[in-house]
Amino acid sequence: MKDRLKSTPGAWVISREILEASPGYPSKEELKRKPVIVIECPEEIPCDPCETICPRGAIVVGEPITNLPRIDQDKCNACGLCIPICPGLAIFLVDNTYSEKEATVSFPYEYYPLPKEGDEVNAVNREGEIACKAKVLKVRDPKSHDHTSVITIVIPKEYSNQVRGIELQQKVDKNE
Protein backbone atom coordinates (compact mmCIF):
# COMPACT_ATOMS: atom_id res chain seq x y z
CA MET A 1 0.00 0.00 0.00
CA LYS A 2 2.85 2.33 0.85
CA ASP A 3 4.03 2.53 -2.73
CA ARG A 4 0.70 3.96 -3.82
CA LEU A 5 1.15 7.08 -1.82
CA LYS A 6 4.59 7.89 -3.17
CA SER A 7 4.61 9.70 -6.44
CA THR A 8 5.76 7.63 -9.37
CA PRO A 9 8.24 9.46 -11.57
CA GLY A 10 6.88 10.00 -15.03
CA ALA A 11 3.28 9.29 -14.08
CA TRP A 12 0.66 11.49 -15.69
CA VAL A 13 -0.57 14.55 -13.77
CA ILE A 14 -3.09 17.18 -14.65
CA SER A 15 -1.04 20.30 -15.26
CA ARG A 16 -1.41 23.21 -12.83
CA GLU A 17 -0.71 25.71 -15.62
CA ILE A 18 -3.48 24.35 -17.83
CA LEU A 19 -5.89 24.41 -14.91
CA GLU A 20 -5.05 27.93 -13.87
CA ALA A 21 -5.35 29.17 -17.42
CA SER A 22 -8.84 27.70 -17.84
CA PRO A 23 -11.90 29.94 -17.41
CA GLY A 24 -13.28 27.89 -14.52
CA TYR A 25 -10.32 28.68 -12.30
CA PRO A 26 -10.57 31.64 -9.91
CA SER A 27 -8.00 34.41 -9.90
CA LYS A 28 -5.46 34.74 -7.09
CA GLU A 29 -7.30 37.75 -5.80
CA GLU A 30 -10.66 35.96 -5.76
CA LEU A 31 -9.12 32.98 -3.99
CA LYS A 32 -8.01 35.27 -1.18
CA ARG A 33 -11.15 37.32 -0.90
CA LYS A 34 -14.05 34.86 -0.61
CA PRO A 35 -15.19 31.27 -0.78
CA VAL A 36 -14.79 30.34 -4.44
CA ILE A 37 -15.78 27.54 -6.77
CA VAL A 38 -12.76 26.01 -8.52
CA ILE A 39 -13.58 24.18 -11.74
CA GLU A 40 -10.82 21.84 -12.90
CA CYS A 41 -12.24 20.98 -16.31
CA PRO A 42 -9.71 22.21 -18.88
CA GLU A 43 -10.58 20.02 -21.87
CA GLU A 44 -13.29 20.47 -24.49
CA ILE A 45 -15.71 17.65 -23.77
CA PRO A 46 -19.45 17.63 -24.55
CA CYS A 47 -20.81 18.28 -21.09
CA ASP A 48 -22.77 20.97 -19.26
CA PRO A 49 -24.70 19.84 -16.14
CA CYS A 50 -22.72 22.37 -14.08
CA GLU A 51 -24.32 25.14 -16.12
CA THR A 52 -27.79 23.62 -15.95
CA ILE A 53 -27.83 23.19 -12.19
CA CYS A 54 -26.46 26.56 -11.11
CA PRO A 55 -29.43 28.56 -9.81
CA ARG A 56 -27.59 31.86 -10.20
CA GLY A 57 -26.26 31.50 -13.73
CA ALA A 58 -22.71 31.73 -12.42
CA ILE A 59 -21.41 28.91 -14.62
CA VAL A 60 -21.73 29.27 -18.37
CA VAL A 61 -20.86 26.66 -20.98
CA GLY A 62 -23.13 27.87 -23.76
CA GLU A 63 -22.96 26.78 -27.38
CA PRO A 64 -21.27 24.65 -28.51
CA ILE A 65 -21.53 22.35 -25.55
CA THR A 66 -17.81 21.63 -25.73
CA ASN A 67 -16.91 25.13 -24.51
CA LEU A 68 -14.95 25.14 -21.29
CA PRO A 69 -17.12 26.04 -18.30
CA ARG A 70 -16.59 29.67 -17.34
CA ILE A 71 -17.36 30.94 -13.87
CA ASP A 72 -18.42 34.37 -12.72
CA GLN A 73 -17.38 34.46 -9.07
CA ASP A 74 -19.46 37.58 -8.43
CA LYS A 75 -22.66 35.73 -9.28
CA CYS A 76 -21.71 32.62 -7.29
CA ASN A 77 -22.88 32.42 -3.69
CA ALA A 78 -20.95 29.23 -2.95
CA CYS A 79 -24.09 27.13 -2.49
CA GLY A 80 -22.13 24.07 -3.67
CA LEU A 81 -24.93 22.57 -5.80
CA CYS A 82 -22.61 22.16 -8.77
CA ILE A 83 -20.11 19.98 -6.87
CA PRO A 84 -22.01 16.65 -6.78
CA ILE A 85 -23.64 16.96 -10.21
CA CYS A 86 -20.36 17.11 -12.16
CA PRO A 87 -19.75 13.67 -13.71
CA GLY A 88 -16.04 14.49 -13.91
CA LEU A 89 -15.85 15.16 -10.15
CA ALA A 90 -13.99 18.26 -11.19
CA ILE A 91 -15.63 21.01 -9.10
CA PHE A 92 -14.32 22.11 -5.70
CA LEU A 93 -15.10 24.86 -3.22
CA VAL A 94 -12.12 26.54 -1.60
CA ASP A 95 -12.56 28.98 1.27
CA ASN A 96 -9.42 30.80 2.34
CA THR A 97 -11.41 33.06 4.67
CA TYR A 98 -12.35 30.26 7.08
CA SER A 99 -9.98 31.44 9.81
CA GLU A 100 -6.72 33.26 10.07
CA LYS A 101 -4.53 30.20 9.49
CA GLU A 102 -6.97 27.70 8.05
CA ALA A 103 -8.87 27.16 4.85
CA THR A 104 -11.61 24.72 3.94
CA VAL A 105 -11.78 22.62 0.80
CA SER A 106 -15.02 20.91 -0.24
CA PHE A 107 -14.86 18.12 -2.78
CA PRO A 108 -16.98 15.30 -4.22
CA TYR A 109 -16.36 11.83 -2.81
CA GLU A 110 -17.95 8.54 -3.89
CA TYR A 111 -16.01 5.97 -1.88
CA TYR A 112 -17.37 4.10 1.08
CA PRO A 113 -17.03 4.16 4.03
CA LEU A 114 -17.44 7.90 4.33
CA PRO A 115 -15.37 9.70 6.92
CA LYS A 116 -17.27 11.12 9.91
CA GLU A 117 -17.53 14.73 10.89
CA GLY A 118 -14.74 15.53 13.34
CA ASP A 119 -12.43 12.78 12.02
CA GLU A 120 -8.72 13.49 11.60
CA VAL A 121 -7.75 12.38 8.11
CA ASN A 122 -4.90 12.75 5.63
CA ALA A 123 -5.53 15.34 2.93
CA VAL A 124 -4.14 14.49 -0.49
CA ASN A 125 -3.10 16.53 -3.50
CA ARG A 126 -3.95 15.98 -7.17
CA GLU A 127 -1.47 13.10 -7.32
CA GLY A 128 -2.84 11.35 -4.30
CA GLU A 129 0.16 12.21 -2.16
CA ILE A 130 -0.50 13.09 1.45
CA ALA A 131 -0.16 16.86 1.72
CA CYS A 132 -1.16 17.55 5.29
CA LYS A 133 -3.50 16.58 8.12
CA ALA A 134 -7.10 17.65 7.86
CA LYS A 135 -10.18 17.74 10.03
CA VAL A 136 -13.50 16.70 8.54
CA LEU A 137 -15.91 19.57 9.02
CA LYS A 138 -18.93 18.39 7.05
CA VAL A 139 -20.12 15.31 5.23
CA ARG A 140 -23.17 15.86 3.07
CA ASP A 141 -24.82 12.87 1.41
CA PRO A 142 -28.47 13.74 0.79
CA LYS A 143 -30.53 11.66 -1.62
CA SER A 144 -30.49 14.42 -4.19
CA HIS A 145 -26.72 13.98 -4.55
CA ASP A 146 -27.29 10.44 -5.79
CA HIS A 147 -24.36 8.89 -3.90
CA THR A 148 -21.86 11.64 -4.55
CA SER A 149 -21.11 13.04 -1.10
CA VAL A 150 -19.63 16.45 -0.62
CA ILE A 151 -17.00 16.54 2.08
CA THR A 152 -15.58 19.68 3.61
CA ILE A 153 -12.22 19.54 5.37
CA VAL A 154 -10.22 22.12 7.30
CA ILE A 155 -6.54 22.40 6.41
CA PRO A 156 -3.67 24.84 6.91
CA LYS A 157 -4.17 27.68 4.48
CA GLU A 158 -0.91 27.17 2.59
CA TYR A 159 -2.20 23.86 1.23
CA SER A 160 -5.52 25.11 -0.13
CA ASN A 161 -4.20 25.27 -3.67
CA GLN A 162 -3.05 21.67 -3.75
CA VAL A 163 -5.41 19.68 -1.55
CA ARG A 164 -8.22 18.14 -3.59
CA GLY A 165 -9.30 15.15 -1.54
CA ILE A 166 -8.53 12.77 1.28
CA GLU A 167 -6.83 9.44 1.53
CA LEU A 168 -9.32 6.63 0.94
CA GLN A 169 -10.92 5.49 4.16
CA GLN A 170 -11.06 1.85 3.08
CA LYS A 171 -9.42 -0.53 5.51
CA VAL A 172 -5.89 -1.13 4.35
CA ASP A 173 -4.06 -4.37 4.89
CA LYS A 174 -1.29 -3.32 7.23
CA ASN A 175 0.96 -6.19 6.22
CA GLU A 176 1.58 -4.78 2.81
Partner 1 sequence: MGKETMNVELAVVGGGPAGLAVAAKAASYGVQVTVFDENERPGGQLFKQIHKFFGSKEHQAGIRGHDIGYSLLSQCEEFGVKTMLNTVVWGIEKNMLGIQNNGRTYTIKTKKTIIATGASENPLCFPGWTLSGVMGAGAAQTMMNVHRVQPGQKALMVGSGNVGLIVSYQLLLAGIKVAAIVEALPKIGGYMVHAAKIRRTGVPILTSATICEARGENEVEEAVIASIDEKGNVMEGTQRVLPVDLICIAVGLRPLAELCWMAGCKFMFLPVLGDHVPIHDENMRSTVKDIYVAGDVAGIEEASTAMEEGRLAGIAVAEELGYLGSEEADEKKNLARKRLESLRLGPFGDTRAEAKRKLTESEVNR
**Contacts with partner 1, residue ranges (CB under 8 A):** 1, 4-5, 7-8, 10-14, 40-49, 52-53, 64-66, 85-90, 110-112, 124-129, 146-148, 164-165, 168, 170
Minimum gap (Å) between residue 144 Cβ and ligand SF4: 13
**Interaction of residue 54 with ligand SF4, rule CB under 6 A:** yes
**Interaction of residue 37 with ligand SF4, rule CB under 6 A:** yes
Supply angle C-alpha 107, 111, 113, rounded to 5: 110
In sequence order, what are the residues at sequence separation of 6 or more whose Cβ sits closer than 8 angstroms to the Cβ of residue 113? 169, 170
Minimum gap (Å) between residue 141 Cβ and ligand SF4: 18
- Contact assessment for residue 169 and residue 110, using Cβ atoms and an 8 Å cutoff: no
Supply angle C-alpha 119, 121, 125, rounded to 5: 145
Q: Which of residues 63-92 bind ligand SF4 (CB under 6 A)?
A: 69, 76-82, 86-88, 90-91
In sequence order, what are the residues at sequence separation of 6 or more whose Cβ sits closer than 8 angstroms to the Cβ of residue 81? 53, 54, 55
Q: Measured from the CB atom, is 119 or 127 closer to partner 1?
A: 127
